[in-house]
Amino acid sequence: METDRSGETAINIIPGTKANGTGKAPVVVSSTKAVEQPKRGVKKGIAICDFLLRLCAIGAAIGATATMGTTDETLPFFTQFLQFQAQYNDIPAFEFFVIANAIVAGYLLLSLPFSIICIIRPYATAPRLLLLIFDTVMTGLTIASASASASIVYLAHYGNPNTNWLAICQQFGDFCRSVSGAVVGSFIAGAILMFIIVLSAFALKRS
Amino acid sequence: METDRSGETAINIIPGTKANGTGKAPVVVSSTKAVEQPKRGVKKGIAICDFLLRLCAIGAAIGATATMGTTDETLPFFTQFLQFQAQYNDIPAFEFFVIANAIVAGYLLLSLPFSIICIIRPYATAPRLLLLIFDTVMTGLTIASASASASIVYLAHYGNPNTNWLAICQQFGDFCRSVSGAVVGSFIAGAILMFIIVLSAFALKRS
C-alpha cells in the first residue's frame, strides 16, 4: 500500500513541476533510512548485549567446571587400609557435570566470533539462527548437568531415610560446599543462556 | 529502493498517458503479493508443525506425570512393624518431577490457543514471541526435572559404593522400571520443546 500511495503522490506533483517530481525520490529514500536507523541501533544493542551475556556465561561455566573439577577433600583420620577422600569423580553425576560444563564453556568461546559478526551486521539472520539453534541445545545440556548434580547434592546434604541413603555432608563439609557452589554457577550459566535465546528471538523478529 | 524505482516508473509513464499511470499501481501490488504468497505458506506450515508438536509434547508430559504419580510398589513380605513400599513421594526429586511435569503439561494446554492464533495470522510476532519466551522457561523446567530424576534413577539402579548408597532396584524392580519410563517421557517432552523453540525462531525470522 505504501508503494501505491507514493506513486500517487508523485503523479499529483508532476503536472505542476517535473523537476520537483524527480527531486522527490531522494526525500522518500532518506525518510525510509531515518526509520531504519533507530531499528538498526536497537538490533545492534541487542547484539552487543548478547556478546556481553556470552562473556558472563563463559565465566559462570568455566567457574563451575573448575570448582567442581578441583574439589578434593581428604579427611584427617585414616585406618590402615583406607583413607577417606571425596572427589568429583566418585559420583557419576558430578563427572557428567564437569564434562557438560566444559563443553558449554568451549562452545561459548567458539560462539564469540559469530556474536561479533552479529554486532557488525545486525540484519544478518544466518549467523543468528545458527547461534540460536546451538544455544538451545547448550542450554539443555547446562540445565541437565546442573540439576542432575543438584539432586545428588541435595541427597548428600539431607540423605533419604526411605532408601537408606545417608547424608555425607557431615563428614565432607568442604566438599559439599564447593560442589553446591559449582551447581549454582552452572544454573546461572543456564539462566544466562535462556536469556540469550530470548534476546536472539527479539533480534530475529521482523520489525 | 523498491519504492524509489516504482515512483520513477510512474513519472516516466505519466507524460504519455495519465490514466495508465494510475492503472500501474495495482499491477505492482499484485506482483508483491505473488512473492509473499509462498512465504506465507511456509510460515503457516511452521505454525501448523508447532501446533502438532505441542500436542505431542502434551502427550509426553502428561504421560510422564501420570506414570510417575501412579507408581507404587509394595513388596510381598513385611515384618510386624514395617511394610516395604516405594512411592514417588519417598524421594524429593520425584516429587519435583511430578509437579514440574504437571506445570509443563498445563502450560502446553494453555498455549494451544496462542498456537492457533499463529496459524491464523502467520505474520503476527507478538503471540509468537510470547510463546517463545514461555517455551524457553518451560524447556528449562522440563529438562531440569527430568535430569534431576534421572540421576536418582541411575543411583537407584547402580548405587554408589563411594558414598555407601546402595541400589534399591533389586528390591523395587517394577518401581524402577516405571520411574525410568517417566524420565524418558519427560526428556522427550523437553526435546520437543527445544525443537519448538527453533521452529519459532524460523517463523520469527525476517525473510
Give tens-digit pLDDT for A189-198: 999 999 999 9
pLDDT at residue number A15 = 43
More confident residue, B41 or A135: A135
- Mean pLDDT over all residues of chain A? 82
The H or E element spanning position B121 is none
What pLDDT sits at residue A1?
40
Highest mean pLDDT pick, A22-26, A161-165, B105-109:
B105-109
pLDDT band at B144 (very low <50, low <70, confident <90, very high): very high
**What is the pLDDT at residue A19?**
44
Distance of CA B112 to the CA centre of its chain: 11
A89, closest residue in chain B (CA to CA): B162
Contact A139 B139 (CB under 8 A): yes
Query: Is residue B8's pLDDT more than 90?
Result: no
Q: Which of A143, A172, A186 to mutate to test the interface with B (most CBs of B within 10 A)?
A: A143
Residue B88 has pLDDT above 80, yes or no: yes
pLDDT of residue A35: 57
Contact call for A3 and B11, based on CB within 8 A:
no
Cell numbers describing residue B175: 518401581
| B127 pLDDT more than 70 | yes
pTM: 0.80
Q: How many CB pairs under 8 A join A and B?
A: 171
Give the CA angle between residues B65, B82, B182 to the nearest 5°: 15
pLDDT on residue A32: 53
One-character DSSP codes across A66-107: HHHHH-EEEEEEE-SS-EEEEEGGGSHHHHHHHHHHHHHHHH
**Is B96 a residue whose pLDDT tops 60?**
yes
Residues of B with Cβ-Cβ distance to A144 under 8 angstroms:
143-144, 146-147
- Would the CB atoms of B144 and A146 count as touching at under 8 Å? yes
pLDDT of A92 over the 80 cut: yes
Question: What is residue A28's predicted lDDT score, i.e. its pLDDT?
Answer: 47
Q: Summarize the confidence of residues A140-145 as an average pLDDT.
A: 96
ipTM of the complex: 0.79
The model's confidence at residue B161, banded by pLDDT at 50, 70 and 90, is: confident
Residue A163: predicted pLDDT: 84
End-to-end CA distance of chain A: 17
Average pLDDT for residues A56-65, to the nearest whole number? 96
- Nearest CB among B26, B148, B201 relative to A148 is that of B148
| Model confidence at A149: pLDDT above 70 | yes
DSSP state of B1: -
Q: What is the pLDDT of residue A52?
A: 96
3-state DSSP assignment of residue A28: helix
- Confidence (pLDDT) at B119: 92
Q: How far is CA A155 from CA A75, B21, B151, in A?
A: 20, 79, 11
Q: What is the pLDDT of residue A47?
A: 93
**What's the farthest any 2 CA atoms get from each other in chain A?**
108
- pLDDT the model gives residue A192: 96
Question: Is pLDDT at A126 greater than 50 in this prediction?
Answer: yes
Nearest to B163 among A90, A136, A149 (CB): A90
Predicted local confidence at residue A140, as pLDDT: 96
Distance CA B18, CA B138 (A): 60
What is the C-alpha separation between B75 and B83, in angstroms, rounded?
7
Q: How confident is the model at residue A9 (pLDDT cuts 50, 70, 90)?
A: very low
Nearest one of B72, B157, B160, B68 to A165, comparing CA atoms: B160
Q: Cβ separation of B6 and A3 shorter than 8 Å?
A: yes
Question: β-strand A72-78 against A83-87: which pairing, if any?
Answer: antiparallel
Q: What is the pLDDT of residues B9-67, one digit of tens each?
A: 444 444 444 444 444 444 444 455 555 667 788 889 999 999 999 999 999 999 999 99
Single out the residue of A99, A9, A65 nearest to residue A185, CA to CA: A65
Segment A124-153 mean pLDDT: 94
> Minimal CA–CA distance to A204: which of A2, A1, A32, A50?
A50
Decide if B111 contacts B134 (C-beta within 8 A).
yes
